[in-house]
Amino acid sequence: MEILWVLMALVMLGFVLLPVLRRRRGGIEQVPPGHPDAADPANYGFVRQEELDVRMPGPDQDLLDVLELVQRTQDYRAAAQLLAGTEAEGELRWQRVQAFAGAAALELRQRPGGVSETPGGQWLRVWRAEAPKDPGGAAVHAEFLVQQAWRTSTPGTEEFRIIMEEAGQACAQAALLAPGDPVPHIVELSVARGLAYSQAEFEKLWLRILDTAPNHMGAHLAALHHWCEKWHGSRETAMAFAEAAAARAPRGSLLAALPLFAVFEHLPEVNLVSSFYRSEVVTKAIHGALFAVHAARSDDPMAAHVRHLLVFFLVRSERWAEAMNELIHVDGHVGALPWTLSADPAAEFAVYRALAVAGYEANGGSPATLAG
């Protein structure tokens, strides 16, 4: 029996030591150039995997500071003040509403409460009770209910329907409190998805959004789900919706990147061979997204979403230098598609980053050439 344990230990040591020995036999790198194990993202100033921020797609220090304060003190007033000072029609308000709602939902999941324990997210309940006319709190509450429905119950069940109907009522209340704010209507897009609104109901909701924020990228991304085959439309109608939005987008709008998201929505339906990522439809969508991020404002909060998806497609299509250029802009934050679909977003992002570095160096790239 002792011999068996020794053999098992040697096998485990082999798994641990073999990669190290392979790389550093005699102090000389043995991994061929272009192999992911040969790439060192740290040479490019990239953040270590364990330090990647999985909460957001890009930096928003004001939001992080307020979130930390609210969760530490359980006092909602800093969140209310931040949302009150955030432009209603912009993308940033939508992202911040999502972040506050997600933080409350995560707290509740971690601390559901009990006889002697206060449930997590209590600050949101106090916010709604003490400031029922605050449009920011109403919008966060509506988004919180939507996230709760999708995270804690199964679509089609009675529990799911009840929570979604409550979310719909919360959206209506939030919209009344802020007539010019598109966020309550954008939240309702998820309600429409969950309760299977009719085409007429959806189009009425979509027109309300277009009246207040016709070029809102977050709204278009939320609406794109409606047109996907697994909901109401088909791949063709989803692409038609995305391409129409891109065609009418003003210069500087990220809507030109919407077709790339439509392609991503339908990846499970296509043949995932390398040639697909160099096909005409994907190449055209990539070029549209590259044009969008390069023409957009440097501080556009939705640019990080587009750049993260570009990293995925550029690596898959082996466009290493372009992938590296996008990584420079988004490295450090991984709270975006496609990484958030993984159980470990940081690890998934790190794999693609290592592939990009390896491919870049195998084709003659280096930290010096990238910096130049």
pLDDT of 48 above 60: yes
Q: Taking residues 151-164, what's their average pLDDT?
A: 92
The candidate with the shortest Cα–Cα distance to 121, out of 67, 163, 158, is: 67
Tell me which long-range contacts 293-300 makes (C-beta under 8 A, separation of at least 24).
293/254, 293/257, 293/326, 293/329, 295/251, 295/252, 295/256, 296/252, 296/253, 296/254, 297/252, 300/91, 300/254
Q: Taking residues 240-251, what's their average pLDDT?
A: 92
- Write out the two tokens for 339: 């990484």
Domains in the chain: ranges and CATH: 61-214 (1.25.40)
pTM for the whole structure: 0.83
Among 225-229, 265-269, 320-324, the range with the most confident prediction by mean pLDDT is 320-324
b/e 48-83 (16+ beta carbons within 10 angstroms → b): ebeebbebbbbebeebeebbeebbeeeebbbbbebb
In the chain, the percentage of residues whose pLDDT exceeds 70 is 84
Q: Taking residues 279-299, what's their average pLDDT?
A: 93
Beta bridge partners of 294: none
pLDDT of 345 above 60: yes
How far apart CA 288 and CA 107 sit, in angstroms, is 39
State residue 299's pLDDT score. Answer: 87
The predicted-structure confidence for 134-150, as pLDDT tens digits, reads as follows 999 999 999 999 999 98
The candidate with the shortest Cα–Cα distance to 190, out of 159, 216, 163, is: 163
The predicted-structure confidence for 86-102, as pLDDT tens digits, reads as follows 998 789 999 999 999 99
pLDDT of 347 above 90: yes
